[in-house]
Amino acid sequence: MASCINPHLQDLTILNEGYVWSSIKDSSIGSLMPLEGLRRLSTTWEIFLCRGDVNNEKEYFPSIQGILDGIPKSLELLHISGGLNQEDCNRDRALAVILELLEQKHRFPAFKALDFGWKRRCPNMLWIYDSRYHPGFTGEDYLKVKSRCQNAGVELILKPFTPRPKNIYYFVDDDGTKTMSGANKVKHIVHYPYDDYEKICNENGCDPESGVPYESGGIRDKDW
C-alpha cells in the first residue's frame, strides 16, 4: 500500500470503515518504511495489529517484530483509535506490541508521543470503571504503558475525562408556577464539575439525588 502513496507524506490516516465482509479480511497496512517523511500516523487497533486472513490461523497475525519493522524511523506521533474488539484484536497482543515499540525506542529517534484516546483519571470519581478511561485495557495495562513511556521519554497523551452532565427537571404551568400537573417541562443541564447543581435543585424543590421534584416519588431523570 505504501508504495502507492506520496513518499513525502507527513500525515497519514488509515481506517477500515466501509468494509464489506468476505471470506478474506485483509486489513493489514503493510510496511510504511517507504514513507521516509511520515511524522504522524492515525489508525485503528485492527489495522495496526495487521489482522490477516481469518481462515488461515498461521497468517492470522504477523510477528510483533514484523509490525515494528514496518514503522518508518521518521514517525513522531502514533494515534490508535477505538477500543479493542476481543474477536479481532487481542488485548495481550496489543499491549505486547506497544511495550516492544517503547522498548525499541532507540530505533525511532523522532518518536515523541502515543495517543490511544485514553482519558486522564478524575481523583474525585474513583467509582468510574477503567473501561471509561482506557477501553479494552485494564488499569494495570495503563500503569505499565505509562511507566514505559516515562522511561522511553515518550509522551502518553491523556485527554481530560468529562463525566456526563446532570439534569434537573420540573414542570410549570402557563404562568410559570411550578407544579407536577404543569403542561410545560423545564430542563436544566449542569455540566461537570456541577457548579450550582444543588443550589438549582433546592431553588426548584428537586432532590439532588435524582434531579426531579421530591413530590414525584423518586422518579429519576431517565424516566422523564
Confidence (pLDDT) at 197: 94
- In single-letter form, the type of residue at position 173 comes to D
CA distance 51 to 182: 58
State residue 73's pLDDT score.
92
Give the H/E segment covering residue 140.
Answer: helix 139-152
For 100, the enclosing helix (H) or strand (E) is helix 91-103
Helix axis angle, 139-152 to 91-103, nearest 10°:
10
pTM exceeds 0.75, yes or no: no
- For residues 122 and 54, the model is more confident at 122
CA neighbor of 55 nearest in space, from 93, 24, 89: 24
What are 173's three cell numbers? 404551568
Dihedral pair phi/psi, residue 160, rounded to 5°: -60, 140
- Most confident of the ranges 21-35, 182-196, 205-219: 182-196
Q: SS3 of 160, please?
A: strand
Quick: pLDDT tens for 134-172.
878 888 888 999 999 999 999 999 887 777 899 999 999
Contact partners, residue 51, CB within 8 Å, separation at least 6:
25, 27, 28, 60, 61, 88, 89
pLDDT in tens, 47-104: 887 754 444 444 455 678 878 888 999 999 999 987 665 554 578 888 999 999 999 9
Rounded Cα gap, residues 140 and 2, in angstroms: 35
> How high is the pLDDT of residue 19?
44
CA nearest to 91, candidates 123, 47, 137, 49: 137
Mean pLDDT of 174-180: 82
Q: Flag whether pLDDT at 221 surpasses 60.
A: no
Per-chain mean pLDDT for the chain = 79
Query: Across-strand partners of 189?
Result: 167
Domains within the chain, CATH numbers bracketed: 2-160 (3.40.50), 166-223 (no CATH)
Which DSSP state fits 181? T
